[in-house]
Chain A
Amino acid sequence: MPRPKPHSACEDFHRTAATARHPSVGVTRRHFLGWGMGAGLALYTARALPLEHWMDGAQEAAAQNPQARILVSVFLPGGLDLLDSCLDTSQYGVYAGVRGSAARPETSDVLAGTSISTHPSLAAGQDGGLRALFDAGRIGLLPGIDYSNPDLSHFHSRRFWETGTITAAETTGWLGRWLDTNATPDNPFQGLSAGSRLSPTLLTSRSPVCSVESTRRSKLGIPGVSEPGLDRAMRAYGDLAAARRTDGTGRAAARASARYAQTVADRLEPLDDSGPPAPTPGDPTDVASVQAPISGYPPGSPFGERLRQLGFLLAQPLGTRIATVDCNADFDTHSDQPERLTRALSDVSGSLAAFQADLEARGLGERVLTFVWTEFGRRPKANRSAGTDHGAGGIGWVMGVRAAPGLRTEYPSLSDLDGHGNLRVTVDFRAIYASLIEQWLGTSAEGIIPDSRSFARIRLVT
């Protein structure tokens, strides 16, 4: 694989530090971008499409391609430390030296065929957690993932990962661009964030996307208004939400999200997530086999609950192709890293392992691949707060029945750090994106990942 150029001291930082976050100074808050607001919006101008059309969108998409593959993107915010998560035990001496009292104890318990020892918390959860999934060949590990001359700002780095570009320019999310190119123009479920907010990776220029915080009690109602008055009122809401050619970006976003909220509520209403639903004759969504209640998610974990709901949603014929979930733990461990990682990784392991078991129990194992990422790695040398500062050469992994197992990228050397004392990057995240798009989603990465040809592909799918 191509080896990025080493850091040339602070000039590189100047380049990326020039990408600040406000209008007129570089990367902005994306005031001028939303979703469903680009050229394709013409589709919805003048009047809203009838509601039935939206409902058809999800069902049609699902019906046309019931076996379509689904990519789930899981974000671990804050910058997860590679070394403590998955340590190359052949470098234990150097690791122990730089981490001092915060170092993990030495162990000979390594993943089969590698010298990698996973954090003890990664064995937490159902049937041995992520550690067991490694051993079962369902995880492909991506150590050293980052980009050349990494920017150590959370904000910049996250933005680069979200957009799939290393520029300050306004742009859509990398998964949103895939939807704009490959998905249907009228199904908000095709790109779905499990949680209250929409992941910036899903920002599209024209395709509808949605976020779903809860799969229960989805109907939208007005207190004290019953049918047929409610139907009239909801039609009026639909009228208010109809896109208009003259809308500015804020107004277009308000109307689009009102339309999608209504569609999501209408579609989810007949699906009861609290247990096996009562059969409804002629209801194509009533498939008993996909309703099996799944246990094993860590109790009280919001991340686990989001994944549980996502498992439920993916089993419905909603036509979802891309889904995102954010972990709510904070991996920005500037202090007390050992305790914090012990807690947080246990949640990650328990939740993701339960999700994988859930998917397989629902018969979705062959259809879903999960990609886990974080915005950067952490510096090998510990600080005095038993923590680590922002660094490079992070960690990611792919998980699934079809994931290519084992060590997929080169583990960075602790004896060959860059000029800032950070790990060298061994694989550009855009190589992983392009590989996922081609090998899993089965489409071209051209036009989705800029300069995609310049990145050597990594085999991620079997």
Chain B
Amino acid sequence: MPKPKRRRTRRPAGSPRTWTEAHVRRVFWRAGFGATAKEARTWSRRGKAATLDWLVADRPALYRGPAGTADGLALDPLNEFGHDKLWWLDRMVRTSHPLQEKMTLFWHDHFATRSQPTPLMLAQNETQRRLALGAFPSLLRAMAIDAALARFLSLTKSVKAAPNENFARELMELFTLGTGYTEVDVREASRALTGLRQARANGQTTGIVYDPTKHDDGVKTIFGATGSWGGEDVLRFCVQHPAHGPFLTAKLWDFFVGTPLNPVVRDKLVGTYVSSGLQLRPLVRAILARPELYANLTRPDMVKWPAVFIAGQLRTMGASVEVPDWVPLMASMGQTLFSPPSVAGWEWGPLWLSSNAMRARFKAASVLTGDGGPASVASSDVRPRMRPDQHMALALAAVGQPEITNPTHRALRRLIASYGSSPRSRERAQELQRSLRHLLISGPDNQLC
């Protein structure tokens, strides 16, 4: 068996190159939905600072390439079942601002909302996208008066005579603090947050309005401060609370880096966040610049979220959303967009990978490599008597040049070898090529970034 070829990105030890294609791929996967071969080349030449500046830049997102479809039909997220999810996947696949889209996904998990009318969910999604990298207090305020979230957490039913604690509790536990508050704070804050109700027209919720007659304007004590506090005050107290900076920083770290956060590093990052006036852009840039994000470049260990797995695969292959299969498959993988399992969002990390979820990822590879799929093998793609390295190169190019480990390389070379040193017929070469492409997508390596 010929020796596996050394991968192009690998450099001699002690290389002065500190910003390689592998670095670009790592940060593009973590901050977005993967890098194409061309993006990896381009941004490795431009350097780390330019890459990070481009990723976090405050610029409008453009959606490139042909818009997604489902079985040949234009996506209709408001009216067609499942199209809302496909529509969002399509944003992830085509956006020119991947970090903005990745942060939108982060906020969807953070302000997890479910079981609300689709127009409200899509409006919430647009708000989260618009404010994805701005000032956290602005986003928090927009979420407190977001119709979908306010309905989901019963905020619109919380009135002076009977405050409902649901929103106030999640505001502190899940949205801003995690820790450092008491049951009394929850109850007092729920009083301060009373008075919002739904605006309705033709039986539909159109937004949230403030009704002072339902607001409790009495004196409350929240985090030890006493006054006739209202909703805005509660939100302000929460973001000014000393637990807030460390809480949000640790969660973003978990999202982008995933390894334990050293307290010294954390304090530095919190400093960046707080001194910027709770701006998200500088904090995220500082996290993306940390060396911990680039550890083990050839052996990534972060499990791709199901949405990231699908959107990233399509994006790096230069393909688009074309089939509705992603809706049931993503459900089987454990992530139905616009329907997180609870207000606490999804469980991250290895918990994404139940045996059933891995099965669904295998099936996703079948959709991509099957007839008409973007990674399908046409008879004209292969020739009889192709050499093993040609088979390998063709398969890798067809599925978006994913990073693979040496053991994977060897296992696939063994599969090629099992066909004889060069498959004699075109049919056999085609079959081998199908298997290679499928395994590159469905194999364990490709679930990690």
Contact = CB atoms under 8 A, between A and B. Distances in A.
B296 interface: yes
Contact of B164 (A230, A250, A335): A335
Given A250-B302, A335-B164, A31 B444 contact: no
Contact of B344 (A23, A154, A223): A154
A353 to B, nearest CB: 26
Interface in A130-162: 152-155
Given A77-B342, A229-B435, A383-B164, A250 B303 contact: yes
Contacts of B106: none
Contacts of A230: 435
Contact of B355 (A224, A240, A261, A385): A261
Contacts of A257: 353-355, 357-358
Interface stretch (B10-18, B95-103, B410-418): B410-418
Contacts of A153: 169, 173
A200 interface: yes
Contacts of A235: 415
B351 A198 contact: yes
Given A210-B354, A220-B359, A387 B261 contact: no
Given A21-B344, A154-B344, A223-B371, A233 B355 contact: no
Contacts of B358: 254, 257-258, 260-261
The residue in B351, B418, B443 that gathers the most chain A C-beta atoms within 10 A of its C-beta is: B351
A29 B348 contact: yes
A389 B166 contact: yes
B128 interface: no
B277 to A, nearest CB: 23
Contacts of B181: 17
Contacts of A253: 303, 349-350, 353
Contact of A232 (B261, B334, B418): B418
B370 A233 contact: no
Nearest to A226: B431
Contacts of A196: 331-334, 354, 356-357, 360
Chain B contact surface mostly:
helix
A261 B359 contact: yes
The residue in A188, A250, A334, A390 that gathers the most chain B C-beta atoms within 10 A of its C-beta is: A250
A216 interface: no
Given A237-B443, A250-B303, A387 B154 contact: yes
A155 B165 contact: no
Interface in B201-259: 243, 246-247, 250-251, 253-254, 258
Interface in A255-289: 255-258, 260-261, 263-265
Contacts of A23: 250, 253-254, 260-261
Interface in A287-336: 330, 334-335
Contacts of A209: 355
A25 interface: yes
16 contacts: A10-B182, A17-B173, A24-B246, A31-B258, A78-B342, A195-B356, A223-B370, A224-B430, A236-B414, A248-B299, A249-B350, A250-B258, A255-B444, A383-B164, A385-B157, A385-B164
Given A196-B356, A225-B438, A260-B358, 9 more contacts: A29-B348, A31-B350, A78-B342, A223-B366, A224-B371, A249-B301, A250-B301, A254-B358, A254-B445
